[in-house]
Amino acid sequence: MDKIIVSDSIVKSFGVGRERRNVLDGVSVDIGAGEFVAIMGPSGSGKTTLLFALSGMDSVDSGSVVFDGEDLSRLGDDALADVRRKKMGFVFQQPTLLKNLNVLDNVILPSVRDGTLSALQINEKARALMKMAGIEELETRGVGQASGGQLQRVGICRALMGDPKVIFGDEPTGALNSTSAGEIMDLLADVHRTGTTVVLVTHDVRVATKAERVLFIFDGKIAGAHEAGRYDAACDDVDARQQALATWLAEMGF
Amino acid sequence: MGMLYRLIRNDVLRSTAVTLTTMLFVAAAALLVALAATLVVNLAGAIDTMMTRAKTPHFMQMHAGHLDRERLAAFADGNDAVADFQVLEFLNLDGSQFVFAGGSLAASVQDNGLSVQSERFDFLLDLDGNVIAPSDGHIYVPITYMQDGTARVGDTVRVAGTPLTIAGPLRDSQMQPLLSSSKRFLVSRDDFADIEPFGSMEYLIEFRLHDLAALGAFQAAYVAAGLEANGPTLTYPLFRLINGLSDGLMIAVILLISVLVIAIAFLCIRFTLQAKIEDDYREIGVMKSIGMRVGDIKRIYLAKYAFVAAVGCALGYALSFSLQEPLLANIRLYMGESDSASWAPFLGLLGVATVFLAITAFVYLALGRFHRIPAAEAIRFGVSQEAPSGGRRVRLSTNQRLGANAFLGLKDVLVRRKLFATMLIVLVLTAFIIIMPRSLHHTISSKSFITYMGVGETDLRFDVQQTDRIADRTAEIAAALEGDDAVSAFVVLTTKAFEARSSDGSEVRIVVELGDHSVFPLTYASGRAPTGDHDIALSALSAGDLGTGVGDVLQVMVGGQARDLTVSGIYSDVTNGGKTAKATFTDDGAATMWSVVGVELTDASLASAKAAQYGARFDFAKVSAMDDFVAQTYGPTLRAVGTASYAAVGISLVISALITLLFMRMLIAKDRYAIAVLKSLGFTASDIKTQYLVRSVFVLALGVVLGTLLANTLGESLAGAVIGAFGASSFAFVVDPLEAYLIAPALMALSVLLATVFGTLDAGTIRVSESIRE
Ligand SMILES: Nc1ncnc2c1ncn2[C@@H]1O[C@H](COP(=O)(O)OP(=O)(O)OP(=O)(O)O)[C@@H](O)[C@H]1O
Ligand SMILES: [Mg+2]
């Protein structure tokens, strides 16, 4: 399998003087193209920091991250922005939408900036994505007039507008009830099925059950990896899969 | 108390730049208000003190020609209102008769002449305010000539050949301002008698009244008695007005600027408060939900701004003491010390206190919004939910051609209208302060401006007065001009006095300038120039006296018969005491008081040379080039307005840059989250800077357009009011399109856009990883 992200001994530290400590302490993670990887670990262990490092959203102190063949630490700010716009999509724990814009405008914003598609293509694509996400009727609503789950779906549509190679999710379902969370996860599973790589930070075992591989991070280090194989709703036994993961996590001390 | 102190200190520390800027504007406002107050007290006081010491006449009639002293004395005796009466002599000398070390006064447009010290009133004073008693061989010179370097103490001046030593400057309570066209030099009685044969005598018939309120009635009685009146009539209020005019203008400008600075200080406060309330929206909601009283919260903010205002006001007041000296210097020199000067600091303090109270009241009112924050909503949404109705229709999906950056910038301005309104108002005000004074300066320095002041636009002007054969001599001049190829047009205007009947039926004497008034027309406040034998145009002051308006009929005795003249127009005039009239009819029976010949040359640049040439040929006439006349009479005022206008441009540019910078810093601080979101979506640092530039350009364009419109409408009326102080009642801006519509906007754009670029340099360097977690 081709690697889309190759990282080697990432070190990232915060704080100054005696307070300074390594939040990421020599992490090496490779992610295959089209893979679905879940990252789990206790609160404060460095999951979000790792996600930011892998996506070039934040610089690293040492080590390297190669994304789709490009060494991110060698790219300038503008080149990083281009990579982010053309090859990545982000979904955060809280919906990060601009409250000045209505729902549709939020979705199309990065594509309009990118300028590769025509206005007509952009609008059509956005409407198709929103239909898929089940939020087509929200189009002209303001951001303040939609529920949390709906907004999270808006965020996913926005992340998908540029046909990204990788979607990063930082607990996108963390703030939602289980029904909403399930729907969001189904949406991400659909995206994965079309060939998009998904890297997802989560606390939720049920969510991680659908991942091909689960990484456990503890105190800034990868403490272990659980290979579950590609999930197929038709033939896999979800409960068994979840049981196996839970057992492994318990071993890891989760 | 301790907690309040800590809250204020923390808040001030957190927003140092904004707090300091606000304090700065408050200080500037307090400084200007204190200065204006101090100057008003000193100016008014100094004028009164000077006019009291000099015992300025309440009524003065200048007269050339035969004088019947007995008849005048009898009139004074018989009139109960008269407290004192005298006739002073003023020996009119041609400017070339005064030869100073550096040259003569030949080019002076003033009527220069000699006087002796009066014995009863209308004294000429030294710089200490004492009545001067000149000794033989000494001469005292009007301050103006000492100021412009013409005369120096100790030098010798030859007056009509007689050498006199300059003993010092003199203060003249009535003829001192440049606007007054005569200048008195003071010599001893013996020297006066020696020089008398070289000049022509003019008489100043002067009265002091028991009660100044009786002036109007006295004036009417003087006219009714048919006494000597071959010359302008001047009164105490007019003396006071022209004495205060140039400094008054300066004070008016300071007041205007201080109003604008106060407005900007208010805007700064409104703006910071608004931003603060938005920032603290959630906290305020929480405080309310746990039962804290809104009054408590308000008190904290009020205390902060009261503190900022107090420090600013104290600073401004203190500064006003060091800055007032140079501004008072002029008043001190020309008018002397004011007896009421000790009041000035108190009035200044009162002005500053008013500023302080206005600011606290303003903050109190602005804080009213706190009451309207619903606790539940504030906690739930964290941000103000006031409907962003603005620009709801403006959608990216239908405006993709704009580009994402331009769209985001514009949309933000539309949505956060209230916030951007503040910046807009500042830019409108600064555009206004840049354009208005420049247009004013351009207007009053344009050649045609004198037509607002009762003077036709000519190249050359001959004044023939104080000779017994005015008509013959004017004809002599006319004949010479007829044969001069360099003259393209000329007109003879003869001034005569007539009896008229005012609207209340009383007999009045009016001074009418007869001739063709269409050749060098004045600008009429209303109506038009007189054309037929039954037309008459009146100066604004005359029309007021007579109680007539355009279209009214005025009965005038012409050639011994009553004739009904229709008022064709009303114009402004500052010449000859301001009470004049113009008509085209002829009356050979009436005596000529003086005449004026206006000349237009084929080549205007020859004016000075021609003036010298004709001046030498017709030594009975005063010949002046119009440009010299304007330069000498209004030059200092023009220069002052010019300097003030450039200062206004500089100050405005600095203010607009400062406010823009502040505004951008504040926006970026507020927008951290949105910027982080955009960056996470792949917007570059320059995308984000572009968006801020779009906001600025949008607000700037709107501000410049509105400011220019405002300057050309409100500014024009405002300038009209200032010009009105000169006696001109109608006024239209002569706008320099290049300057007003190109250079001014370009300068503003430069300062605002540079400030935006500078203020948003680091806008794109926000770290997504930190900001998006918040
Ligand atoms: N900008 C920062 N400055 C200082 N410390 C930071 C900063 N960002 C993160 N940290 C610290 O680094 C550690 C890891 O943070 P990170 O957000 O990656 O944790 P996490 O695994 O995502 O936790 P959670 O599950 O609660 O989201 C935490 O201890 C956090 O306090
Ligand atoms: Mg996290």
pLDDT digits 0-9 by tens, A92-146: 888 888 888 889 999 999 999 988 899 999 999 999 999 988 888 988 888 878 8
| CA-nearest residue, atom 25 of ligand 1 | A43
pLDDT band at residue B450 under the 50/70/90 scheme: confident
Measured from the Cα of A47, ligand 1's closest atom is 21
The per-residue pLDDT for B6 is: 67
B400–A112: do the CB atoms touch at under 8 Å? yes
Q: Which residue in the set B397, B674, B768 is minimally distant from A57, CB to CB?
A: B768
Which chain residues have CB less than 5 Å from ligand 2, an ion? Answer: A 48
Of A77, A85, A109, the CB nearest to B396: A109
- How far apart, in whole angstroms, are the C-alpha atoms of residue B288 and residue B297? 9
pLDDT of residue A143: 81
CA dist B645 → B32, B439, B704 (Å): 16, 9, 18
Interface test with B, best of A13, A65, A105 (most B CBs within 10 A): A105
Sequence letter at residue B742: L
Angle between helices A148-160 and A119-132 (to 10 degrees): 140
Interface test with A, best of B417, B681, B683, B691 (most A CBs within 10 A): B681
Q: Which residues in chain A have Cβ-Cβ distances shorter than 8 Å to B384?
A: none
Q: Which of B659, B624, B685, B674 shows the shortest CA–CA distance to B751?
A: B659
Structure tokens belonging to residue A245: 């993961």
Residue of A nearest to B394 (CA): A101
- Rounded Cα distance, B664 and B412, in Å: 13
What are B22-31's pLDDT values in tens digits? Answer: 888 889 889 9
Beta strands in B359-486 (DSSP E): 460-465
Q: Which of A11, A12, A13, A14 has most ligand 1 atoms within 8 Å of CB, for mutation?
A: A14
**Residue range B304-315: average pLDDT?**
91
Nearest to residue A29, comparing CAs of A249, A225, A244? A225
Report the b/e string of A94-124 with b at 16+ CB within 10 A: bbbbbebbbbbbbbbbbbbbbeebebeebbe
Instruction: List the structure tokens of B316.
Output: 């401004």
Q: Could you say which ligand is closest to the alpha carbon of residue A41?
A: 1
Question: What is the nearest CA distance from B312 to chain A, expressed in angstroms?
Answer: 37
Nearest to B496 by CA among B509, B512, B508: B512
pLDDT at B592 > cutoff 90: no
Q: Which range marks the domain in which residue A76 is found? A: 3-252
Chain-chain contact of A102 with B395 (C-beta, under 8 angstroms): yes
pLDDT digits (tens, 9 = 90+) for A174-213: 777 778 888 888 888 888 988 899 999 998 888 888 899 9
Q: How confident is the model at residue A232 (pLDDT cuts 50, 70, 90)?
A: confident
Mean pLDDT of B283-303: 71
pLDDT of residue B391: 65
Q: Which ligand lies nearest the alpha carbon of A12? A: 1
Tens of pLDDT, residues B402-434: 889 999 999 999 988 888 888 899 899 889 888
**B211-240 pLDDT, tens per residue?**
988 888 898 888 888 888 887 888 898 888
Q: Could you give the CA distance from residue A111 to residue A132 in angstroms, rounded to a whole number? A: 18
The set of residues, in sequence order, having a beta carbon less than 8 Å from that of B216 and lying 6+ positions away, is none
All residues at 6 or more sequence positions from A203 whose CB lies less than 8 Å from its CB, including other chains: A40, A171, A174
**pLDDT at site B279:** 66
CA–CA gap between residue B601 and residue B490 (Å, rounded): 9
How sure is the predictor about B186, in pLDDT bands with cuts at 50, 70 and 90? very high
B774 pLDDT higher than 60: no
CA B158/CA B97 separation, integer angstroms:
8
Q: Give residue B74's pLDDT band: very low, low, confident or very high (50, 70, 90).
A: very high
How many domains is chain A partitioned into structurally? 1
Whether A1 has a pLDDT exceeding 70, the answer reads no
Nearest C-alpha to atom 13 of ligand 1 is from which residue?
A44
Q: Are B182 and B110 in contact (CB under 8 A)?
A: yes
Taking only the tens place, the pLDDT of each residue in B374-410 is 655 555 454 554 445 566 678 888 888 888 999 999 9
B-chain CB neighbours of A85 within 8 Å are 681-683
Highest mean pLDDT, choosing among B71-75, B280-284, B298-302, B324-328:
B71-75
d(CA B186, CA B246): 25
Q: Which of A43, A60, A91, A100 to mutate to test the interface with B (most CBs of B within 10 A)?
A: A100
CB of B352 closer than 8 Å to CB of B317: yes
Cα dihedral sign for B366, B368, B370, B372?
negative
| pLDDT number for residue B385 | 47
CA of A253 to the centre of ligand 2 (A): 19
- Please tell me the distance between residue A95's alpha carbon and the centre of ligand 1 in angstroms: 19
List residues bridging with B538 in a β-sheet: B570, B581
* 8 A C-beta contact, residue B112 and residue B98: yes
The residue nearest atom 29 of ligand 1, judged by CA position, is A44
Number of the ligand closest to the Cα of A217: 1
Residue B711 has pLDDT above 80, yes or no: yes
State the closest ligand 1 atom to the C-alpha of B773, by its place in the atom list counted from 1.
17
Whole-number Å distance, alpha carbon A62 to ligand 2 midpoint, is 21
pLDDT digits (tens, 9 = 90+) for B194-204: 999 998 899 99
Q: CB B407 to CB A112 under 8 A? A: yes
Contacts 24+ apart (CB under 8 A), B676-679: B676/A96, B676/B766, B676/B767, B676/B768, B676/B770, B676/B771, B676/B772, B677/A96, B677/A97, B677/A98, B677/B772, B678/A98, B678/B408, B679/A81, B679/B764, B679/B766, B679/B768
Per DSSP, chain B holds a count of helices (H) and strands (E) of: 22, 22
Q: Which one has a higher pLDDT value, B42 or B509?
A: B42
What are the DSSP calls for B739-753, one per residue?
IIIIIHHHHHHHHHH
Closest chain B residue by Cα to residue A121: B397
Instruction: Give me the CATH number covering residue A214.
Output: 3.40.50.300
> Does the pLDDT value for residue B292 go beyond 80?
no
Separation of CA B331 and ligand 2 centre (Å): 73
Looking at every residue in chain B, the average pLDDT score rounds to 85
- Cα B366 to Cα A135: distance, rounded to the nearest angstrom: 41
CB B122 within 8 A of CB B206: yes
- Given a cut of 90, whether residue B436 has pLDDT beyond it is no
**Residues β-bridged to residue B139:** B166, B187
Res. A152: pLDDT tops 50: yes
- Ligand 1 centre to CA of A203 (Å) is 15
CB contact under 8 A, A84 and B381: no
The number of angstroms, rounded, from the C-alpha of B181 to the middle of its chain's C-alpha atoms is 20
Q: Nearest Cα to B138, choosing from B98, B165, B169, B159? A: B165
**3-class DSSP assignment, residue B340:** coil
Nearest to B769 among A52, A77, A78 (CB): A52
A-B C-beta contacts closer than 8 Å? 99
Nearest CA to ligand 1 atom 26: A43
The torsion angle over the Cα atoms of residues B160, B163, B164 and B166, rounded to 10 degrees, is 100
Percent of chain B with pLDDT over 70: 90
Q: Residues of A with CB below 8 A from B408's CB?
A: 98, 100, 109
**All structural domains of chain B with their residue ranges:** 1-51+244-383, 66-229, 402-447+638-774, 468-619
- Give the β-pairing of A62-67 and A70-71: antiparallel
The answer to whether B188 and B145 have CB atoms below 8 angstroms apart is: no
Is the pLDDT at B99 greater than 50? The verdict is yes
> A16 exposed, middle or buried (CB, 10 Å; 0-12, 13-18, 19+)?
exposed
Would you give the distance in Å from CA B327 to the centre of its chain?
A: 15
**Both tokens assigned to B710:** 């405002």
B43-47, B123-127, B281-285, B601-605: least confident range: B281-285
- Single-letter code of the amino acid located at B590: A
Q: Could you tell me which residues of chain A have a Cβ less than 8 Å from any Cβ in chain B?
A: 48-49, 52, 57-58, 77-78, 81-86, 88, 90, 92, 96-102, 104-105, 108-110, 112-115, 119, 122-123, 126, 140, 142, 144, 158, 162
Distance (Å, rounded) from C-alpha B108 to C-alpha B621?
A: 13
Residues of A in contact with B405 (CB under 8 A): 113
